[in-house]
């Protein structure tokens, strides 16, 4: 399969979409605290995306009912926001996408809810480090499998595994 190179104009639009999405994720993160619901965080994300003249990428996609995917604790991926309040010690993974200028951006980040256990702190720290390990492989001509392999190898060296059902 041939790789289609993006033009400088397309790359700039992609950069803009990513920058806007970073702002949205940071805004959501400022509200993560015990007692808030993921449904409320979803509303905050929706409003933040609309304020930036963008469109939520996940809302309605294959029938998905929300702007955010919110995965609390053992939920692996694609959790649906709910009215259940977050509790002290939870960890929350937020996955969100937006469309801006015809280009999509997608980002996930894990937040501690208040004070978390040392194990949860380690998980958050190690997964962020794995992200940066994968970034080392992003260069012209890279293959996404190289990035995935680097991330997997890094995490396995720290005792984590891959949930094969989502690979």
Tell which CATH classification among 3.90.230.10, 3.90.1150.10, 3.40.50.300, 3.40.50.720 matches the domain 7-115. 3.90.230.10
Across the strands, what pairs with 112? Answer: 91
Query: Where do the structural domains in the chain lie, given as residue ranges?
Result: 7-115, 117-167
Nearest partner of 66 among 52, 79, 53, 84, judged by Cα: 79
Question: Which tokens sit at 12?
Answer: 């700039």
Q: What mean pLDDT is predicted for residues 23-40?
A: 99
pLDDT of residue 140: 82
As a whole number of angstroms, the distance between CA 40 and CA 81 comes to: 8
Q: What mean pLDDT is predicted for residues 80-96?
A: 98
Render pLDDT for 130-162 as a digit per residue (tens, 0 to 9).
999 999 998 888 888 999 999 999 999 999 998
pTM comes to 0.92
CB atoms within 10 A of CB 69: 21
């Amino acid at each position: 399969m041939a790789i289609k190179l993006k033009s400088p104009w397309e790359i700039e639009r992609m950069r803009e979409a990513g920058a806007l999405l970073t702002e949205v994720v940071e805004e959501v993160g400022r509200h993560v605290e015990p007692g808030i619901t993921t449904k409320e965080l979803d509303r905050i994300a929706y409003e933040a995306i609309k304020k930036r003249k963008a469109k939520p990428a996940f809302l309605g996609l294959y029938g998905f009912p929300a702007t955010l995917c919110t995965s609390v604790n053992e939920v692996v991926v694609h959790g649906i926001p709910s009215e259940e309040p977050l509790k002290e010690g939870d960890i929350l993974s937020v996955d969100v996408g937006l469309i801006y200028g015809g280009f999509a951006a997608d980002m996930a980040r894990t937040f501690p809810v208040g004070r978390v256990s040392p194990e949860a702190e380690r998980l958050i720290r190690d997964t962020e480090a794995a992200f940066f390990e994968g970034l080392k492989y992003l260069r012209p001509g890279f293959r996404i499998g190289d990035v995935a392999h680097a991330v997997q190898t890094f995490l396995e060296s720290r005792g984590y595994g891959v949930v094969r059902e989502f690979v």
